[in-house]
């Protein structure tokens, strides 16, 4: 009897759990929550964040290499859902904005533990995958080598990309991208497949040019990577953070080229960056600068 009462009380408290425990409480066939009473107490990394039409934030929290869990947050809690933040949070499962279950974040339960945290590599997919992406639901994927349809984002009429075989995929993006120029040329789109109105779409977290890997190799060749990592601060700032600062600055690319030519100090702290003029050909400088600025989408898509 005593044991029973103890278990009941424990059941009402937040119990430390994993994303996998919360996912196990969702019916894989229907996407509906089987358990809406347990308070899950999670430690997780944010992979994707988007603002819905009603102002609420929909995010995925992503265990390394495994399916993530959709969460919905509002107000001050929502502001903490910055992609790559590691955080602890509590919440209960409920029907989400697209029908399937999400974890509704308990107000005031979010604590940020760190930023720029990696959550593992992405599964490469193509347009055909989205005919039925159920096997990849909640996984962080890379839709490889697509081009955007149209010149500018028109969120209300739908955002679409096309792969090399002509297969179209619809993207879910925040209204914040509306009216911006779409990224030019072949892109890899990173994000999580989600089912919306019966069809599979990609909830987008990052756009990077298909030349990104080759450009990283250039950055290695010119020793940039001894001081910079795209996603983490080393001696110099993370390229992601540089891109955040310049996300709305259309002169960013020429400013980055100027920094490579002349070096600089004081913008990110007292440590100086040495000049690279005559060590890096102008065309390579431009390619590297454009790649660095490409990380602005991490932030624009999360606005």
Binding residues for ligand HEC, per CB under 6 A? 219, 222-224, 226-228, 235-237, 242, 255-256, 259-260, 264-269, 271, 273-274, 276, 280, 288, 292
- Residues 6+ away with beta carbon under 8 Å from 301: 49, 50, 173, 174, 176, 177, 204, 205, 206, 207
In the complex, the smallest distance separating the C-beta of residue 288 from ligand HEC, rounded to whole angstroms, is: 5
- Considering the complex, state which of residue 43 and residue 284 has its C-beta at the smaller distance from ligand HEC: 284
- Considering the complex, state which of residue 70 and residue 280 has its C-beta at the smaller distance from ligand HEC: 280
- Considering the complex, state which of residue 171 and residue 289 has its C-beta at the smaller distance from ligand HEC: 289
Query: How open is the CA angle 278-283-287, to the nearest 5 degrees?
Result: 115
In the complex, the smallest distance separating the C-beta of residue 243 from ligand HEC, rounded to whole angstroms, is: 9
Cα–Cα distance, 33 to 30 (Å, whole number) = 9
| Contact yes or no for 150/156 (Cβ under 8 A) | no
In the complex, the smallest distance separating the C-beta of residue 256 from ligand HEC, rounded to whole angstroms, is: 4
- Considering the complex, state which of residue 65 and residue 281 has its C-beta at the smaller distance from ligand HEC: 281
Instruction: Give the burial class of 266: count Cβ atoms within 10 A of its Cβ; 0-12 exposed, 13-18 middle, 19 or more buried.
Output: exposed
In the complex, the smallest distance separating the C-beta of residue 296 from ligand HEC, rounded to whole angstroms, is: 12
| CB hemisphere CA count around 299 (13 angstroms) | 17
- Considering the complex, state which of residue 31 and residue 236 has its C-beta at the smaller distance from ligand HEC: 236
In the complex, the smallest distance separating the C-beta of residue 142 from ligand HEC, rounded to whole angstroms, is: 24
Instruction: Give the burial class of 189: count Cβ atoms within 10 A of its Cβ; 0-12 exposed, 13-18 middle, 19 or more buried.
Output: buried
- Considering the complex, state which of residue 150 and residue 274 has its C-beta at the smaller distance from ligand HEC: 274
Please tell me whether residue 20 adopts helix, strand or coil conformation.
Answer: helix
Cα–Cα distance, 298 to 208 (Å, whole number) = 9
Long-range contacts from 274-281, C-beta under 8 angstroms, 24+ separation: 276/222, 279/222, 280/222
In the complex, the smallest distance separating the C-beta of residue 116 from ligand HEC, rounded to whole angstroms, is: 16
- Considering the complex, state which of residue 24 and residue 235 has its C-beta at the smaller distance from ligand HEC: 235
- Considering the complex, state which of residue 98 and residue 222 has its C-beta at the smaller distance from ligand HEC: 222
Phi and psi for 78 in degrees, rounded to 5? Answer: -60, -40
In the complex, the smallest distance separating the C-beta of residue 223 from ligand HEC, rounded to whole angstroms, is: 5
| Contact yes or no for 300/180 (Cβ under 8 A) | yes
In the complex, the smallest distance separating the C-beta of residue 9 from ligand HEC, rounded to whole angstroms, is: 53
Q: Which residue has the tokens 């059941």?
A: 11
| Contact yes or no for 180/198 (Cβ under 8 A) | no
| Contact yes or no for 106/74 (Cβ under 8 A) | no
């Amino acid at each position: 009897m005593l044991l029973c009462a103890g278990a009941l009380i424990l059941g009402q408290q937040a119990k430390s759990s994993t994303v996998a425990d919360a996912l196990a409480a969702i019916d894989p066939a229907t996407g509906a929550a089987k358990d809406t009473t347990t308070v899950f107490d999670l430690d997780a990394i944010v992979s994707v964040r988007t603002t819905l039409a009603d102002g609420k934030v929909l995010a995925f929290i992503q265990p390394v290499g495994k399916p993530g869990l959709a969460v919905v947050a509002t107000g001050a809690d929502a502001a903490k859902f910055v992609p790559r933040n590691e955080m602890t949070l509590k919440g209960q499962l409920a029907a989400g904005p697209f029908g399937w279950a999400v974890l509704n974040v308990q107000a005031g339960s979010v604590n940020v533990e760190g930023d720029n945290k990696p959550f593992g590599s992405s599964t490469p997919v193509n347009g055909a995958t989205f005919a039925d992406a159920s096997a990849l639901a909640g996984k962080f994927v890379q839709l490889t080598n697509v081009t955007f349809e149209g010149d500018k984002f028109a969120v209300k009429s739908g955002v679409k990309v096309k792969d090399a075989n002509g297969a179209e995929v619809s993207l879910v993006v925040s209204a914040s991208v509306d009216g911006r120029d779409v990224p030019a040329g072949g892109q890899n789109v990173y994000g999580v497949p989600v089912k919306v109105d019966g069809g599979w779409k990609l909830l987008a977290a990052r756009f990077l040019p298909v030349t990104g890997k080759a450009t990283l190799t250039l950055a290695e060749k010119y020793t940039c990577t001894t001081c910079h990592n795209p996603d983490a601060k080393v001696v110099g700032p993370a390229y992601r953070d540089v891109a955040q600062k310049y996300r709305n600055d259309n002169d960013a690319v020429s400013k980055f080229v100027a920094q490579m030519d002349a070096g600089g100090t004081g913008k990110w702290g007292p440590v100086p960056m040495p000049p690279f003029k005559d060590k890096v050909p102008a065309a390579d400088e431009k390619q590297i600068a454009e790649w660095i600025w490409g990380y602005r989408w991490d932030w624009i898509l999360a606005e």
